[in-house]
Amino acid sequence: MPTALPGADEPADTLTPSRVARLRSVSEVAIAPDGRHAAYTLSVPRQPGIDDDGEPWTELWVLTLSTGETRPFISGKVNVSKPCWTKDGKGIAFLAKRGDDKFKALYWIPIDGGEARKAAELPKTDVSDFSLAPDHPEVALIGTPPEEEARKKLKDKGFKQEIFEEDLRNARLWIARRFDTTKALPRSLELTGSVRAVQWSPAGGALAVAISPTATVDDGMVRQRVIVVDPATGATKATVDHAAKLGSITWSPDGSQLALRAGNHEHDPSDGRLMIVPATGGTPREASPGMEGDFEQVAWIDSDELLAVVSEGAISSFRRIRLLKEAPGRSGQETSSAAKRGHPILSSFSLSANGRVAALIGHAPTHPAELFTWTKGETTLVRRTDSNPDLANVRWSKQEVIHHRARDGLALEGILVRPRDTRAGDRVPLILAVHGGPESHVSDGWITSYSNPGQVAAARGFAVFYPNYRGSTGRGVSFSKLGQGDAAGKEFDDLVDAVDHLASIGLVDPKRVGITGGSYGGYATAWCSTRYSDRFAAGVMFVGISDKISKVGTTDIPDEEFLVHALKRPWDDWQFLLERSPIFHAGNCRTPLLILHGADDPRVHPGQSKEMYRHLKMRSQAPVRLVLYPGEGHGNRKAAARLDYHLRMLQWFEHYLQGPGGPMPAREFDYPLPPATTE
């Protein structure tokens, strides 16, 4: 079994599954209004064999920009989220469940020292999001109403039946006073639908609210709408006329405009467009039409200017966007670089009140997400945290952006991690790691995780390639729509073309090619292991699709799939979807396939993996193994399940691409856990 024990037995210069399982990363950031401090959350994985199994802990840390000092404010076995500074900069508000709390509440901790205090809570339910009023002590809280007492009593008597999708309760919006000593209950605003997000206007007299018809995931993805409401009465003051995916809402400093990160129409697969609309409502205008990139986050500097993190293919940029009045022959914006393009790959940021200092989250080929800062006039970002200092000892494999063309001439790119130790002229085994979505993309940053082989596999002699096939994001609307209505067509032909390119440059052995991916990447793995089985010597399929017809009937996002992927319903063309299903080609399979799936996945039902397994067992002679993870959904979140997945993936590829092949490797193995201790 290809494992390395943690601790002293691990090679200091090599990334292993155990080390990946211990990696920390910065997850959220909020800069103080005066730009002197930055609060951030640090994701700290639990350690298999040491901690109780579960999802990572999330700690609250604070950086002092003038000294570079970072210190933990709330650490240990905690889960802190959504840090936000009060307007006076004297404290940090955040969500957490602390002490005897049964539900997540809003807390506040002073920047100059002292214990965290509970600022507001909802009766018998979690606070899921909040927004502080800028000029008075009120706060808007989002939460799902608790189950009715009568229903709870029936459950206690054994009546635990669930009425599918009818038992969902819409999230509601409440107004509460921070540190209210009268213990008055929060005031509920009567809004129709399920509240998804809220932002209090800088002027204080309005709330921008994202709301969907119901609490279903599908409605949240494709039917969110933006309204402006009166926080005193809940009355709707304005409605934004926009029907597309919605990512975020941001007020201009004077409260006159809203910036939406959203799709530009209902068939746009991404929420990566910058849309501007007056706070009085109406139809938004796109600030950067035709831009070949995606906005990841935006923040206003003043009423005419914004800063933005933009994905541009495999890299990212930090841009200044100046809005212009519409005029004949003139575009609606001017852009300029606020910092050098390239590394780090940026994901989000927070801007000081005067727009002169920003705290950003970024990652690079040699480290996961860390905290960076930017100062106006500077073109270089300054790294401020080092959450995994032992990575300094790692001998990294070369990582680079590779450009090539598809068989129809389309320009494509992807990220290649070359094997760490090879001799000139050697052809090496390849792992093709396919991203999901397909409305997603891989950037030239940190691309190693429990489910992505990256640097771990490269240290073991593999080349690893992450293709940004047609339909990926980061290259504008047109590119992201190239795969629509053609599932497993040209989009997956691009994968084979990428393999051919890497073989043509003399790097990989075309007879030793493996493929892996999750979700839509799992669909690609299943497709290439059946329809293109002669091209792939091993596959590892994760939460993937095998039957396009039954997928529609069992997923929680059937309308999202229709609007931005399929463009037609199954009954419009049953035969087409059948022939684009990997199970249709199962009899062609000669590729050893490892299938892994969360047993409680609502997005791609585990029945998809069971169908794939059963069809291969009946119609193919290829080795196949199915591993289910109880309690996991669309991706593993708990420490033990992540480590198990990582080890099995490597074991499968080493056995079939580097080893003897033939019968499957052992299904049980020794985990790299710390030795048992006696007291």
The sheet with strand 315-323 has its strands ordered as 294-302, 305-312, 315-323, 333-337
Nearest Cα neighbor of 609 from 535, 601, 645 is: 601
Q: Confidence band (pLDDT; 50, 70, 90) for 678?
A: very low
Cβ contacts of residue 641 below 8 Å, gap of 6+?
Answer: 629, 631, 632
Percent of the residues in the chain that have a pLDDT greater than 90, as a whole number: 88
> What pLDDT, in 10s, does the model give residues 335-372?
888 888 878 999 999 999 999 999 999 999 999 999 99
**CA-based diameter of the chain, in Å?**
80
CA–CA gap between residue 246 and residue 260 (Å, rounded): 7
Q: Confidence band (pLDDT; 50, 70, 90) for 9?
A: low
Give the burial string for 110-139 (b: 16+ CB within 10 Å, else e): ebeeeebeebbbbeebbbbbbbbbeeeebb
> What pLDDT, in 10s, does the model give residues 620-675?
999 999 999 999 999 999 999 999 999 999 999 999 999 999 999 999 988 988 76
* Superfamily per CATH, domain 395-658: Alpha/Beta hydrolase fold, catalytic domain (3.40.50.1820)
Assess whether the previous peptide bond of 674 is cis (omega < 30° from 0): no
> What pLDDT, in 10s, does the model give residues 98-148?
999 999 999 999 999 889 999 999 999 999 999 999 988 999 999 999 988
**In the prediction, which pLDDT does 113 show?**
82
Q: What mean pLDDT is predicted for residues 589-596?
A: 98
3-state helix, strand, coil in the chain (%, to 5): 20, 35, 45
CA–CA gap between residue 584 and residue 486 (Å, rounded): 16
Q: Confidence band (pLDDT; 50, 70, 90) for 538?
A: very high
Q: Confidence band (pLDDT; 50, 70, 90) for 7?
A: very low
CB-based contact 316:346 (threshold 8 Å): yes
C-beta contacts of 53-61 below 8 A and 24+ residues apart: 53/638, 53/639, 53/640, 54/638, 54/639, 55/637, 55/638, 55/639, 56/639, 58/27, 60/92, 60/94, 60/109
> What pLDDT, in 10s, does the model give residues 478-517?
999 999 999 999 999 999 999 999 999 999 999 999 999 9
**In the prediction, which pLDDT does 1 show?**
37
Q: Where are the domains of the chain?
A: 395-658
CA–CA gap between residue 542 and residue 544 (Å, rounded): 5
CB-based contact 556:620 (threshold 8 Å): no
CB-based contact 638:607 (threshold 8 Å): no
Region of residue 603 (left: phi > 0; alpha: psi -120 to 50; beta: else): alpha
Tell me the whole-structure pTM to 2 decimals.
0.94
Indicate if the pLDDT at residue 330 is higher than 60.
no
**In the prediction, which pLDDT does 620 show?**
96
> What pLDDT, in 10s, does the model give residues 188-232?
999 999 999 999 999 889 999 999 999 999 999 999 999 999 999
Phi first, then psi, for residue 220 (nearest 5°) are -65, -30
